[in-house]
Structure 1
Amino acid sequence: MYEDQTYEALLERMLDRVPEGLDKREGSIIYDALAPAAAEMAQMYIELDVNSNLYFADTATGEYLERSIAWSGVVRQAASKAQLKAVFVNSAQEPLDVPLGSRFSLDKLNYTAVEKLAPGTYRLESELAGSEGNRYFGVLLPVDYIANLARGEITALLIPGEDAESDDALRQRYLDAARRPATSGNKYHYMEWAQQIAGVGGAHVFPLWNGPKTVKVVIVDTGMLPASELLVAQVQDYIDPAAGKGEGQAPIGAVVTVAAAVAKTINVFAKVVLASGYSLQGVTDVFQSGLEAWRKSRGFETTYVSHAVVGALLLATDGVLDYRDLLLNGSTGNVALSDEEVPLIGTVSLGV
């Protein structure tokens, strides 16, 4: 907005106001008096330009973004804690119950037992909020002594922990809310309700899926993978815990069924021409990481896995000069996804 208000432009304008006949050359008294003022004014215009951007949602960041959209009711989602399943056994390898509130450590993180799922099986919560709590699986060490405990082990991730919502994600959620108002139990209202539960990464809503007054909500977790039974139960309890009775967020009469998305495995095969100095395994690992990044960004928004997109990702992989015979699930075409399916990257086999 103020790009033309540079030090040189300001100084020239100020010197133009000095009466003719006075010495205005560089090094003169007038020049040396005006130059510092022009520099300060140029800095002021820079800061004014920056500050003006902090008032608008499309350019604001951090606290200013939160304040600029506060009127809408959309707020930044705080970091959430990972929920994991753990199994405990005694010396006879029999399931062992541990006290709720017991604390355990694994590598650098601590976990707390918060719910009994079955004999010897518990839901643990990471004491550290954020995605860091999703990383670790393996043998647990009790922080305090637990009688008869021979082994404890984390076996599954139930609900992924999330980092605090980024500016880009918060901005997009605000824009979605403004462009697709969620109100009066419309389709977007169900999407909003589902995504208010920590751990939900996306939702598809199917009105009248099983007749009048029925709604189906299909969800994925923040990794864009099928939601766990625990996460499905939490969303169900929040939206419609008693079918059609209006005891949750859904209006009276609406019978809501929450379900996890269905994973569709995508196996990839191709032959590649490698650049000098690159190994086939190294290129395969990088390509697989690229596929996974694409899956997370687009997996619940697309209706098919594009053969061309996968080819472009392969060609963009460092060390790949060319490729041929690219197959997705044994075919040279796209892989269709139903409305309830999300892609899951299976085997990635590259040859030369």
Structure 2
Amino acid sequence: MPFDRPSLKDLINRSVADIESRLDGADASLRRMLLNILAKMQAGSVHGLYGYLDWIALQGMPDTAETEQLERWASIWGKNRKSASKASGTAIFTGTSGSVIPANTYLKRNDGFEYETMAEAVITDGSAIVSIEAVQAGVESNTSVGAVLRLPSPVAGIQSTAIASELAGGTDVESDDDLRGRLLARIRQAPHGGATFDYVQWALDVPGVTRAWAYPRELGDGTVTVRIMTDGLTIDGIPAAESVAAVQSYIDNVRPVTAEVIAVAPVAVPMNPQINLTPNTAPVRAAVTAELSDLLRREAIPGATILVSHLREAISIAMGETDHALQTPANNITHSTGQIAVLGTITWGDL
């Protein structure tokens, strides 16, 4: 039988009744009288204690524990919160040949986010490719190819702007929900020294990895193919080579010695819906896009079929949508081995 926590009003009534049962002729229910004040003070204190006991009860189980206690539970089971990481890549500088770009030279994105060069470089034949890294960690540090980075302070012989490659690898600190998910998976599926789910858990332990799947014997006896996604780390969630290499390295250190593990990125198959929408406004389009992205994160797995009925449902539950017609796709979308659906370009129209 669950414990029913008494309300503050019930506790006050109990205190009033308790006082009156011990003092003949006393009336502790009269407002602003000393006995009534004492009853309310006692009830308030007890109510606070009940609240603390409620909180303690939640911390006593890993599926309801809050941040500090959740991290302690996770550490007991060998899981640590993934820390934030910084995006890195290269940028192309132009300038006078022979000019030097010092290490730790700062660059700024148009929104003010800062990067710095990782090593000294010299302009050769008018340009130089320089390794750079974000100053602060987080998903915000990721930058698409072609972004313009500016030098806040001039460098002799160097143009004031540089062009970035794709700057990837930036991740936020792992959320409580994601950490809790990994912890519960570890509790429910104890390591089996190389079971299929062991490879999934090992891949998810790598910073930036949000989804993972393992396919035993896909490339022959003794092989395990591990596919991963890095949602939020790259635009479509398909992992960069660095993320795949990190998973490969991590699993190689924990896998059974007899297993040959191949970490790979799924092959992206863009889904390009054509949607007639009512009302066809920017906020509703944004809500529909968010719902479709969430659907694909939940249901898109390598080789899976995306049901057109689920696409229609996702559009229907978008905030502000009153009606729509999904022109394409008209049928379920199937994928072959290794292929995964990602959201491509949405074409909008009026209904």
Question: Between the two proteins, what is the percent identity of the paired residues?
Answer: 24
1:234 aligns with 2:235: no
1:106 aligns with 2:109: yes
Select the residue among 140, 152, 173 that pairs with 2:162: 152
- How far off its partner does 1:30 sit? 4.6
> For structure 1, which runs of at least 5 residues remain unmatched after alignment?
241-247
Local SS of the residue matching 1:75? coil
Local SS of the residue matching 2:117? strand
Distance 1:325 1:194 in 2: 36
Say if 2:104 and 2:117, in contact at 8 Å, map to a contact too.
yes
Partner of 2:237: 225
- How far off its partner does 1:175 sit? 0.6
In the TM superposition, what are the counterparts of 1:4-15 in structure 2 within 5 Å?
4-14=5-15, 15=17
Distance 1:184 1:283 in 2: 48
CA separation of 1:38/1:286 partners in 2, compared to 1, >3 Å: closer, same or farther? closer
In the TM superposition, what are the counterparts of 1:1-352 in structure 2 within 5 Å?
3-14=4-15, 15-16=17-18, 18-19=21-22, 21-27=24-30, 30-90=35-95, 101-107=104-110, 108-114=112-118, 120-135=128-143, 138-142=147-151, 148-150=157-159, 151-159=161-169, 161-223=170-232, 225-240=237-252, 248-272=253-277, 274-275=278-279, 279-280=280-281, 283-300=284-301, 303-328=304-329, 332-352=330-350
CA separation of 1:235/1:100 partners in 2, compared to 1, >3 Å: closer, same or farther? farther
Distance 1:256 1:231 in 2: 15
Local SS of the residue matching 1:9? helix
Distance 1:349 1:91 in 2: 45
- How far off its partner does 1:103 sit? 3.5
Alignment coverage as a number of residue pairs: 333
Name the TM-score, length of structure 2 as normaliser.
0.81
Say if 2:303 and 2:334, in contact at 8 Å, map to a contact too.
no
> For structure 2, which runs of at least 5 residues remain unmatched after alignment?
121-126
CA separation of 1:43/1:198 partners in 2, compared to 1, >3 Å: closer, same or farther? closer
What letter is aligned with 1:222? Answer: D
- How far off its partner does 1:262 sit? 0.8
Say if 1:280 and 1:351, in contact at 8 Å, map to a contact too.
no
- How far off its partner does 1:172 sit? 1.0
CA separation of 1:313/1:49 partners in 2, compared to 1, >3 Å: closer, same or farther? same
Say if 2:239 and 2:265, in contact at 8 Å, map to a contact too.
yes
Distance 1:12 1:143 in 2: 67
CA separation of 1:9/1:97 partners in 2, compared to 1, >3 Å: closer, same or farther? same
Distance 2:198 2:155 in 1: 46
What letter is aligned with 2:291? Answer: G
Distance 1:147 1:255 in 2: 52
Q: Deviations over 1:241-264 (max 9, x none)?
A: xxxxxxx33332322222111101
- How far off its partner does 1:168 sit? 1.1
Q: Deviations over 1:196-225 (max 9, x none)?
A: 332222222122222222222112223362
CA separation of 1:72/1:86 partners in 2, compared to 1, >3 Å: closer, same or farther? same
Distance 1:270 1:252 in 2: 51
What letter is aligned with 2:41? Answer: P
- How far off its partner does 1:347 sit? 2.3
Local SS of the residue matching 2:63? coil
Distance 1:281 1:166 in 2: 29
CA separation of 1:138/1:7 partners in 2, compared to 1, >3 Å: closer, same or farther? closer
**Higher-strand-fraction structure:** 1
Q: Deviations over 1:60-100 (max 9, x none)?
A: 111121123331111211111122342333458x9x99565
Local SS of the residue matching 2:238? coil
What letter is aligned with 1:59? Answer: T
Comparing 339-348 with 296-305, greater Cα deviation is found at 296-305
Distance 2:336 2:271 in 1: 14
Distance 2:103 2:219 in 1: 40
Partner of 1:244: none
What letter is aligned with 1:348? Answer: I
What letter is aligned with 1:106? Answer: R
- How far off its partner does 1:147 sit? 5.5
CA separation of 1:33/1:351 partners in 2, compared to 1, >3 Å: closer, same or farther? closer
Name the TM-score, length of structure 1 as normaliser.
0.81
Local SS of the residue matching 1:164? coil
What letter is aligned with 1:349? Answer: T
CA separation of 1:20/1:285 partners in 2, compared to 1, >3 Å: closer, same or farther? closer
Local SS of the residue matching 2:345? strand
